[in-house]
Structure 1
Amino acid sequence: MIDSRDDERALALSTLQQVFGYQNFRAQQEDVIVSLIGGRDAFILMPTGGGKSICFQIPALIRSGVTIVVSPLIALMKDQVDNLVALGVRAACYNSSLTAGEGRNVLDQLHQGRLDLLYVAPERLMSDDFLNLLRGLTPALFAIDEAHCISQWGHDFRPEYIRLGQLRSLFPAVPIAALTATAEKQTRADIINCLQLKDPYRVVCGFDRPNIHYSLVDKVKPYQQLCEFLLRYSEQSGIIYCLSRKRVEEVADKLSRDGYQAAAYHAGLAPEVRRSVQEDFLRDDVQIIVATVAFGMGIDKPNVRFVVHYDLPKNIEGYYQETGRAGRDGLPAEALLLFGYADIALLRGFVEKNNDPEKLRTELHKLNAMVAFAEAGICRRRVLLGYFGEVIDADCGNCDNCLNPPEQYDATEYARKALSCVYRVGQNFGMGHVVDVLRGAENQRIKTIKHDRLSTYGIGQDVSRDDWNHLLRQLIQLGYLEQDVARYSILKLTEQARPLLRGEERLKLCKPRTRVQRGKKKEHKIKGQNYDPALFEELRRVRKQIADRDGVPPYVVFGDASLAEMAVALPTSQSELMAINGVGQVKLQRYGNDFIQAINGFLCR
């Protein structure tokens, strides 16, 4: 007797190979796909670029009916639909960007059963008219993308997602898949509860993106540091994130004047300008986007080689999601953070405007965790993954602290001064006040509470404010001090501080970094094999010509990983090209001969 699940697995693998052009599933993709095909709910947490979309797209092609994909942004919908249409999949989006005629055409296709996937925004899906339409069609599956948006614990909560919890009672027999790349434990539980998932198949693949090199420098001359970093990314795509619209425009203007293909993107620009900038970036006509966090959610551009945070992100979830937009194709990428103490003060000011005490404590905790990551002297990947509850057995070997360990100094006496000051002020004040006392600040508050009479007043006036802040944060990170988040982050001594204060041990701490360090030397390798960079660039040129001709982003034709694999395998026939990952039947017919000719021409030179 043949197990029906074996049939489903065979059909899923065949679809993966024939439609998407991949020879094998990634970790856990196959099991979740088979579960969804069988009608079971699923919760899917995979890192950006880890293959989440495949998990619902293959069931959509196998199950009867249309799969409704909930997506928060028009740009995300268009991106995924463009990719699917290029693969020969019957997909469309239904949103406010369509003209009246285009909208009617999409609804006609839906009525006539000529769509496998339809992308909609949550507010459109939950409108009475659209729900009534779906009741007559019996959807195959609901896929809730960016599902962390439904959780008030999530870093990107969106009120319009809340009503999605009604889908279970409205369509009790239709399976629901919730997908996200960024959700810690509390957010995961909230997603499952809010969407009323029934015994969902759970996939938590971990958060590690081993191809991304994480690095940080202390912000001194940020624009100069940025330009030093960009020297090794000529004609490569990247994103630079800034805190304010003003900063975005300043940096973009400077880069443009200095000869970079750069453009600004923020919510204050007209919609048509934002659309134009995004299209230019996706089509490789603009190499660098300088943006606020308004840019990037769901952008599928796989060949982003770097992400720079010009200013400090407000939490690790946002940092992880934004850096995850680099290297979605699995090839080497880099994430650089410029870290300045002024950014901490600015972000803290934003956070403290919150009138909800619980929300205030949560956001302050997240900001402190972000700062702790920035000031870590150990493997950055250990700190980043540890925040999400994931432990790795060894240092990553692909971050600045692993490749270029920070310089250390004997900080024993400075640490004792700092700890003594925390004790003398009664363990009842925050970091700013402690630093003021150490530096002998002459302000009215210190005089009023007579802290200018303490023995620790002015004993650290020869050390800068930034250096004292850096030292105190390392003492917190190492466990000598703790911050009481519920009491305005006042500093308290821990038991671990006693031996240091009594002179029973010495302490070494890390010096701040100010120069951009080089990451790993760029290797022209894929799957451990060398490829000719000249052939790779020739294939990129052919891809750009085809993309411009067809009016699609270059990665819709083939991703960089596919081109690199071609440059290794040197396929000179359709059967050989079909063995390259990312080359499915439809793309083989549309583009195969152009690339075979380019490879043959290169080999004949």
Structure 2
Amino acid sequence: MDDLDTSDALFPAVNSREWLDVILRHRCKVTKLRPFQLDLGMEVVRGKDVWCVIATGMGKTVLLQAGAIAADARGERGICLIIVPTKVLVEQQAEVAAARGLRALAINEDTVREAALVKRDLWLELTRGDDVRVAIMTPQMVQGRRMQQLLNSAAFVDLVRWVSIDEAGLIDQKNGVFAAPYSRLSSLRVKLNDSTVWVAVTATATTDRAPIMARKLGFRPGGYVDARYSIDRPNLKFIPRFYQHATTGTEHLDLSFIIPPDMQRAEDIISTVVFARTIGPGFSIMDYLDTLIPLHIPNRLQLIKLYNGLMTADYRRNLKRDFPLGTVRVMVVTDTAAYGFDVPNVRRVVTTDLEEDPKEEEQKAGRAGRDGEPAEVISFAPPWVQNLPLGSVPLTKTQLDEEEKRSQLSLIRAWYNPTAFFCSRHALLHYNSEAFPFGAVSPKCCGPIHDPDASKLDLAHVQQWKEYFAQLEEERVSTLERPRADGAFRVLDKPMRESLMHMLDRWSHRMWNEIRPSRELPCSVFFPPFIRDAILDKAYLCTDLSNLKIITKRWEYFDECGACSNF
């Protein structure tokens, strides 16, 4: 399918540096390669194993595919196995490989099942053809029954010419789900030919741990190209913050700065990715932020969307298309998006959970500013992470316990407690044994040390929202909470409250099934938890529809569904 004319006598000689430069630029649709892409791509073409540590957003995928692209341009055949941590990344890498002219097979539990429904066998397709095939899969799929059967075939093994491992640093992950599957990848070495070229890339490997990680993956000491580049991202500004307000299941006041109080149009929301630990908190954050968007904003419930592994491939694909277009302003994601999630125009990343492993914080921060333009990373931590004032000594049991917990955090403690001599960026570079380039980094590279004003506007917005909700509550109290003299109406006891909650949940799901515009939208979009809880808290005051409307003041579906006879 390659439309590049290589017959010209002046075209560079096959496998030369000039030839690879032309081929990769043409296939990857770029005007210029980064030096490491061409340098290490040539090593792969020469048949050498490569271990590469480089910052996120630098184009590591080109290196992972370089050997397959070169072989395809030469008209050869072979198989390239690209191993990635998540099924979301499987689909993304397959799309990229296909766009570069390779026959790409995304192999995960979902794609294998969906292919079987239309009588396709992806494993069989991988074994057939006279071209170059790229199979992208997770470590779990590599270790699955079908793949192991293929590896018992000498004919198949001879076709496997490249093994490329993305996010190789996960083999050293602490308390994570990826370390064990990645560790088992070394068993591939004994099943494949010695001529198979191995490539591993990561942005999270310190100088002392990198050789250990490589050895765990089967790289032989002295037998591979060991390439290390700066992990610094000068376009990112790091802003550590401590939670100032209590977090419940429905309130996230510290995150309210994401929605400007004076918002007039969708574009007033900075394009933001919010990391939540799991799907449940992600729903809660989305629900809360949705309530802050003014009712007059068009498509207001489409501006903030969830992104996680439970969403369909079409939903995720459409979301990654809509976000760069600006029709979606905020994505609330799980840790699934920390690895290889590539959306170029993310101007702000917000992490809502304390990461005890610096590598995890690095990965999430790496989703911001992948287009090279300025971006910021706001990282939240609970108050106990904050050091005591200089000269203070922990005295109480609580202070002693908190000091003990802080002592376990090492670098992360320094990240959240920056000083004039050791800012957050400096801490990250120090962790990776990299010198802090004082003269080369903008003096506003971090907040609050180098840019004390970085948080002022955000914190002012939080204060405005705090005052707004306080006023709203005051209005509700003055309007409604006048107890009856005879005491006839009281707060619901626990059994009655639970019974009403179940009734409301059943009603809301039934109504939403009738009116929802898209099956991807959860019921919480229609009937947010804060509306349900308001009704539960003040059910004794719902003596007529006018009172109910006041209690559910910010529920936009009231006129359409609030007066429903089967409410």
Q: TM-score range by the shorter chain?
A: 0.5 to 0.7
The residue that corresponds to 1:169 in the other structure is 190
**1:124 maps to which of 116, 141, 147:** 141
The answer to whether the 8 Å contact 2:238/2:424 transfers is yes
Q: Which residue of 2 is the match for residue 394 of structure 1?
A: 438
Sort the Cα spacing of 1:317 and 1:151 in 2 relative to 1 into closer, same or farther, 3 A: closer
Aligned counterpart for 1:333 among listed residues 357, 366, 375? 375
Alignment partners' CA distance in 2, 1:237 and 1:135: 49
Q: Give the secondary structure class of the aligned counterpart of 2:378.
A: strand
Matched, 1:206 2:230: yes
Give a deviation string over 1:81-101, Cα, whole Å, max 9, x none: 112323333222222112214
Q: What's 1:180 paired with?
A: 202
How far apart, CA to CA, are the structure 1 residues paired with 2:91 and 2:217? 25
Q: Which of 156, 160, 180 is the aligned partner of 1:139?
A: 160
Question: Within the alignment, does 1:227 sit opposite 2:249 as a pair?
Answer: no
* Letter aligned with residue 387 of structure 1: Y
Unpaired runs of 5+ residues, structure 2, are: 1-11, 247-251, 294-299, 388-404, 461-567
Question: What is the TM-score when the length of structure 2 is the normalising length?
Answer: 0.62
Report the alpha carbon displacement of residue 282 of structure 1 after superposing the two structures with TM: 1.1
Q: Which residue of 2 aligns with 1:560?
A: none
**How many angstroms apart in 1 are the aligned matches of 2:154 and 2:143?**
10
1:58-137 matches, cutoff 5 A: 58-63=66-71, 64=76, 65-98=78-111, 99=114, 100=116, 101=118, 103-104=120-121, 107-108=124-125, 110-127=127-144, 128-133=148-153, 135-136=155-156, 137=158
1:117 aligned partner, one-letter code: V
TM-score w.r.t. the length of structure 1 is 0.58
Q: 2:424 and 2:164 mapped to 1: Cα distance?
A: 33
Mapping for residues 397-476 of structure 1, pairs under 5 Å? 397=442, 398-401=444-447, 404-406=450-452
- CA gap of 1:97–1:13, structure 2 versus 1, over 3 A, is same
Report the Cα offset of residue 182 of structure 1: 1.2
Could you tell me whether the CA contact under 8 Å between 1:306 and 1:335 is conserved in 2? Answer: yes
1:248 aligns with 282
Counterpart CA distance in 2 for 1:118 and 1:364 is 44
Q: What residue number does 2:38 align with? A: 30
With over 3 angstroms needed to count, the CA separation of the structure-2 counterparts of 1:156 and 1:202, relative to structure 1, is farther
Asked if the contact 1:155/1:318 (under 8 Å) is kept, the reply is no
Q: In 1, are the aligned partners of 2:276 and 2:353 still within 8 Å (CA)?
A: yes
For the residue of structure 2 that corresponds to 1:313, the secondary structure is coil
Q: Unaligned stretches of 5+ in structure 1?
A: 346-362, 408-511, 519-605
Q: Matches of 1:369 and 1:132 in 2, distance apart? A: 45
Contact 2:17–2:42, Cα closer than 8 Å, also in 1 = yes
Q: Does 1:283 align with 2:327?
A: no
Distance 2:277 2:125 in 1: 43
Give, as a single letter, the amino acid of the residue that structure 2 aligns with 1:93. Answer: A
RMSD, aligned CA: 3.4
1:388 CA drift (Å): 1.2
Alignment partners' CA distance in 1, 2:188 and 2:426:
38
* Mapped partners of 2:290, 2:174: distance in 1: 39
Distance 2:33 2:407 in 1: 38
Q: Which amino acid aligns with 1:241?
A: F
Alignment deviations for residues 28-55 of structure 1 (CA, whole Å, 9 cap, x no partner): 2222111111111110111111111111
In structure 2, what is the equivalent of residue 309 of structure 1?
351
Greater relative CO (CA pairs within 8 A, separation 6+): 1
Distance verdict in 2 for CA 1:72–1:366, change over 3 Å: farther
Q: Which amino acid aligns with 1:384?
A: L
- In structure 2, relative to structure 1, the CA distance for the partners of 1:113 and 1:301 (3 Å cut) is farther
Instruction: Give, as a single letter, the amino acid of the residue that structure 2 aligns with 1:202.
Output: D
Name the residue aligned to 1:516: 458
What is the rounded CA distance, in whole Å, between the counterparts of 1:244 and 1:372 in structure 2?
26
Measure the CA separation in 2 of the matches of 1:336 and 1:117.
Answer: 37
Find the residue that maps to 2:121 and give its secondary structure.
helix
1:10 aligned onto 2:18:
yes
Task: Choose which of 214, 218, 222 in structure 2 pairs with 1:196.
Answer: 218
Q: 2:558 — aligned with what?
A: none
User: Equivalent residue of 1:108, what SS?
Assistant: helix
Q: 1:307 to 1:124 in 2, by over 3 A?
A: same
Residue in structure 1 matched with residue 240 of structure 2 by the alignment:
216
Specify whether residues 298 and 364 from structure 1 end up closer, same or farther in structure 2 by C-alpha distance, changes over 3 A only: farther
Partner Cα separation in structure 2 for residue 403 and residue 186 of structure 1: 29
| Distance across 1 between alignment mates of 2:287 and 2:180 | 35
For residues 236 and 401 of structure 1, what CA distance do their matches in structure 2 show? Answer: 18
1:208-254 residue CA offsets vs partner (Å, 9 max, x unmatched): 01111212333324845533355496365421123465543322101
Rounded to whole Å, the distance in 2 between the matches of 1:134 and 1:264 is 44
Q: Distance in 1 between matches of 2:170 and 2:406?
A: 20
How does 1:527-538 map onto structure 2 within 5 Å? Answer: none
1:175 deviates by 1.3
2:87–2:108: 8 Å Cα contact kept in structure 1? yes
Partner of 1:385: 429
Counterparts of 2:153 and 2:365, CA distance in 1? 39
Structure 1, residues 340-375: CA drift from partner, whole Å, max 9, x if none? 315789xxxxxxxxxxxxxxxxx9766232121111
Does the 8 Å CA contact 1:149/1:161 hold for their aligned counterparts?
A: yes
Q: Deviations over 1:2-28 (max 9, x none)?
A: xx9994312210112211122332132
- Secondary structure of the residue aligned to 1:329 is coil
* 8 Å Cα contact 2:168-2:201 kept in structure 1: yes
